[in-house]
Structure 1
Amino acid sequence: MNFDGILFFPVTPYSAAGTIDHDMLAQHVAHGVEAGAGGVFPACGTGEFHALSAREAASVVRSATAAVDGRVPVIAGTGGALGHAIEVAKGAADAGADGLLVLPPYLVGGTQDGLIAYVEQIAAASGLPVIVYHRGSAQYTVQTMRRLAQNPQVIGFKDGTGDVGAAQLIVRAVAEEGRDDFAFFNGLLTAELTQAAYRGIGIPLYSSAAFAMIPDVASAYHRAYVDGDEGRRLELLDGFYRPLVALRDETPGFGVSLIKAGLRLQGLPVGSVRAPLVDPTAAQEQRLAEILDAGRALL
C-alpha cells in the first residue's frame, strides 16, 4: 500500500447532542484530501477511538470512506479489548476501509507471543492489511516484528515510544525478512518535532494531527521536509510547532483537544472532546489562536 503525501488523522465531530456529526465529518475529510493528504486514518487517536462504540467507529469509517471516494488509502483504527477490536475491524472492512491501524490492547500487558496472536486474530477476522502501533501495552520486540513481517497481512509499523534505537533495529529486521513493501511511521505526538531524526533511521512517514487543524501550515512543513529545505523546515518548527507543543504539554490529552479547539476557532463546529479528555480553557484557546495566526504568518 502506497502513501504518497502527508498522513491525515481527522477528528470525529460531535453535534450539540453528543452524537457524531457525519455531515461535518465528510466535509472535514474531503477538505483534507483536497489539501493533499496521502492517506486518511479515521477513528484513530485524533479521532477519539478510545471514546467510540464499535457501531460508531464503523459509521465514522463509512462516512470517511465515502468522502475519500477512492482517492487515497483509508486506514481505520481498531484495538482495545480483543472482542471489541475484532468487532471494530469487521465493521471497518464492511465500511470499505483499505486497512487497519491496530492500537494497543486494553489495560493488560501480555507476552510477545500474546501480542502476535492479538494482531493476527484481528487481521484474520477482518481480512484487511494491518499496521501495528508500537506504544503503551503493545511494545513489539525486534524478534516479534520479524515474525509479524512473515505475515503478508501485516504491512506496517508505527512507532509511538520515541526509542529510535529500538525502531532502527526493527526497520533493519523487517528489511532482512525481505519486506520492501513495509510502511514505517513516526507516531509520536506532534510528530513534526521529531521527524528529522526518524527519517535518518529509515522511517520517512509520520502522522500529522496538525494537518487536521491547519493543513496549509502542515503541508508547508511537509514540503520543506520532503525537499530537504532545512531552513524552511526549521522556520516552521520554531515559529509554529514549538509553541504548539509547549501548549499541548500543559494538559494530558491535549494532543486531541487542541486540534478540535483549533477547528472550532476557525469556524468548524466539530464539538468538544469526549470524557476523559477535556477542552482547553478560554486562556489556552486564546494562546492557541495566537499560535495559529503565527503559523499562517509564516506562509
Structure 2
Amino acid sequence: MPTDTEADVVARMRSGMAHGVLSFPLTSFHDDGSLDLDGFRAHLETRLATRPGAVFPACGTGEFFSLDEDEYRRVVTAAVEVTAGRVPVVAGTGYGWAQAARFARLAEDAGADALLVLPHYLVAGPQDGLVAQLEQLAARTTLPLIAYQRGQVAFTPASLRRIARIPGVVGLKDGHSDLDRLQRLTLAAPEGFLFFNGAATAEIQARAYAAVGVPAYSSAVHAFAPEIADLFFAAHRRGDDAVMDRLLREFYVPFVELRDRRTGYAVSLVKAAARLRGQPVGPVRAPLTDPSPADLADLESLLAAGLRLASALAPVGAAL
C-alpha cells in the first residue's frame, strides 16, 4: 500500500497532468558557465505563471548531467522556494544507484515532492539489473520515484509489474515511443500507476500516446513558448484536430527538423529559444554547444511565426 505521502503526491500529479503540461525548466548559467540562480528563479516564475501540471527541475532539459552536487542542491532548493507548493516539484536524479541516492538526499533536504530517475550512466543492464537499480534507490530515499525509460533503459511488462511493487515507485515516463510496448506496459501496471509521454518534442506524438492511455506529456516548448505549448495542450484535451494539425504542421514539425540538425539541440535549441524570448537562462554547458548563427537565425524566424500562429489561433480555442 502506498504511504500517505506517496498517495498525496500521486493525487497532486494526476490532478496537475489533467490541466497542464509537465514543465521542465532550464538551468540558468552566466556567460562564464557558472550557475545563475537568480536567472533560474526568474525563468521558473514565468513558467509557473502559466499553471503547468508540475515542474521538473534539474532533469534532462535542466542539464542535470552538468551539475555538481552543490549546484543541484541550490537549483532544487530554489525550485521549491519559488514554487511554494503551487505545483509538485519533481527533481531529477541519476547515474548509478549510489550516486543517485546522494542526489536524492539533497532533493529530500531541499523539500522536493518526488524524483524522476534518469537513465543510468554508460552501461546497458538486463531486466533484473534495471529493477534492482530502482530497488536500491527506493531503499535509500523517502521520496516517491518516477522511472524514466529512455536510451538503455526499457522495461518489459514483467519488469513493470515488479517495479510497480517496489515501495515508493509511483510512475513511469516513457521516451522510447514504442507504442506496442507502451500499451503492454499500461495494461500490466496496477491501477493508479502514473504514466506520461516523455518523447522529445512530445506534442508530435501526443495523440498516439493518448490512444494507448497516456494523455499526459512533458513539453520542452513550454520552456520558451508557453503560449504555443498551452494552446496545443488545450486543443489536445478537447480533441481539436484542426488546431493541433496547424500547430504541428506550421511550428512543431519545422522545429523538430531544426532540432535534428545537430546532436544536443534537444536542449541547446530550447535554451537558445528561451534567450530569444528574453529569458535569463544563459548558454549551455559542454558537452552541449549553442546553435550556429545560421541555425539561430532559422530558429528566430520559426519562433516568430509560431507566436503569430498562436496569437491567431488563441481566439478560436477560447471560443470553444
Q: Give the TM-score band, short-chain normalised.
A: over 0.9
Q: Of residues 148, 152, 168 in structure 2, which corresponds to 1:137?
A: 152
Shift of 1:26: 1.0
Q: Following the alignment from structure 1 to structure 2, what is the Cα–Cα distance between the partners of residues 269 and 39?
A: 21
Unaligned ranges ≥5, structure 2: 1-9, 312-320
| Aligned residue runs from structure 1 range 98-247, under 5 A | 98-174=113-189, 179-247=190-258
> How many residues in Structure 1 have an aligned counterpart in Structure 2?
295
1:64 maps to which residue?
Answer: 79
TM-score by length of 1: 0.96
CA–CA distance in structure 2, aligned partners of residues 8 and 102 of structure 1: 16
Query: For structure 1, which runs of at least 5 residues remain unmatched after alignment?
Result: none
Q: Deviations over 1:68-97 (max 9, x none)?
A: 100000001011132221111111111111
Aligned to 1:87: 102
Q: Which one of 250, 262, 267 corresponds to residue 251 of structure 1?
A: 262
Looking at structure 1, the residues matched to 187 and 285 of structure 2 have their Cα atoms a distance apart, in angstroms, of 39
d(CA) in 2 for partners of 1:152, 1:190: 31
Q: Aligned partners of 2:46, 2:174: CA distance in 1, in Å?
A: 27
> Whole-Å Cα distance in 2 between the matches of residues 274 and 79 of structure 1?
18
Supply the distance in 2 between the matched residues of 1:240 and 1:108 (Cα, whole angstroms).
36
Which residue, 283, 303, 316 being the options, matches 1:272?
283
**CA distance in 2: counterparts of 1:206 and 1:173, whole angstroms:** 20
Amino acid paired to 1:255: A
1:50 aligns with 2:61: no
Deviations 1:2-61 (A, max 9, x none): 332110000100012322111111111111111121100000010011111122212111
CA distance in 2: counterparts of 1:181 and 1:19, whole angstroms: 41
2:26 to 11, 14, 17: 11
TM-score w.r.t. the length of structure 2 is 0.90
CA distance in 2, matches of 1:40, 1:124: 24
